[in-house]
Amino acid sequence: MKCIIHDQVILSRTPEGPLVDHLISFADAIAAQGYSAQSMQQQVRIAAGFSRWLKQAGVGLKDICDDHAIRYLRYRARHVKPFPADRAALRRLIDFLRSEGVVAGEKIAAHRLLPTEICAQAYTEYLRNAQALTEATVRAYLPFVREFLHHCFGDGRVTLSRLRAADVVSFVQIRARRLHLAHAKLMTTALRSFLRYVRYRGDIAQDLTSAVPVVANWSMQSIPRAISAEQTRQLLASIDRRTAVGCRDYAILVLLARLGLRACEVAFLELDDIDWRSGQLSVRGKGGRRNELPLPADVGKAIATYLQHGRPHSNSRRVFLRVEAPITGFRGSNGIITLVRNSLQRAGIDAPTKGAHQFRHGLATQMLSHGASLSEIGEVLGHRHPQTTTVYAKADIKALRTLAVPWPGGV
């Protein structure tokens, strides 16, 4: 006997087992995430089969765990041809049941941590709680600190009071050879942070931060690689705004080009960040700081067009959403960077780089050529320190020409 679970899902037989009462709500959740009817049918079919297997195995609703899902997939593979999406569908079902409070959270098996890892975790908590650093900064520092601890103590006991300047110097000398200059500089920054933490704990009395060798990495050694105004116009003109994806991509590219936003700022932009009445945009920049920017008419029009005609229905408060299920906001800046790279490739534009930051450099360069001061540029770009903006002085070729001294013995 056929059973209708959802207006797009029909099962060939009546479902049974502990998950019967949750199949409809699971189907509704899948539909809300933008999955196709075919995908919904397959996922609900997997859920119904899992529920039937649980009944045969005598597993109650509260006893369901990840191991049961693994065992069911093995059982299913012996009877029907498995599909690559089966595992993901079952994982999505388990996550849904946990979010509804139907199934208990996953129990992480306890295992013995190495002393170096225990020390690294304590340092991580210090960065988050005492220093209030962002997760991105914590993730950037942690690998270098783990390597340093392993260099000094191996897998044995960590005795921070035994740290000496020679340990610091030897680690940097060995590790820096294999790193790009920028990463080597990040390594020394992370190392100084960790050594300040060790002194803060009282493990050492001597300030070992001065023992960290300086990596030669001169600031402002190159001119910012900026996309030209003509290339930007060519890129925007190449976007097909008749499609929903085109509406989204055009709005994102206009934001990057006209306001010089960072990729992560565009990715995490929310509906509440736009004040349509006052024509302002509230951007969350580095360190969680807010930067209020005017919303140009063309940028506002592009966003409004996407919201009205291109944005899928979703409970997410993010402005820009993925086009493939699950329909959610971008996880981070990588999605925006990929969008820029693909758009440049489709348009056949040989831009200075493939990333999103070139629009930021392009805006600064254009503002400078139109007479804007460095302080005005820094305010638009949300720079915390004035010296960050001084790099764009190198891009003002006309102004630099007036500083050039005559060639000795010139014509």
**What residues act catalytically?**
262, 286, 357, 360, 383, 392
Handedness of CA 90, 92, 97, 103 (dihedral sign): positive
Q: Which of 84, 100, 103 is closest to 29 using CA atoms?
A: 100
Region of residue 17 (phi > 0: left; psi between -120 and 50: alpha; otherwise: beta): left
Q: Is 157 helix (H, G, I), strand (E, B) or coil?
A: coil
**Token pair listed for 371:** 């007479």
Q: Which of 317, 262, 254, 259 is closest to 293 using CA atoms?
A: 259
**Residue type for position 210:** S
Instruction: Give the angle 108-111-114 at the CA atoms, nearest 5°.
Output: 130
**Residue type for position 372:** A
Gyration radius of the chain over CA positions? 28
Looking only at the bridges linking them, the beta strands covering 280-284 and 290-294 are antiparallel
Q: Are 5 and 43 in contact (CB under 8 A)?
A: no
Q: Which of 64, 358, 114 is closest to 226 using CA atoms?
A: 358
Return the half-sphere exposure (C-beta side, CA atoms, 13 A cut-off) of residue 250: 27
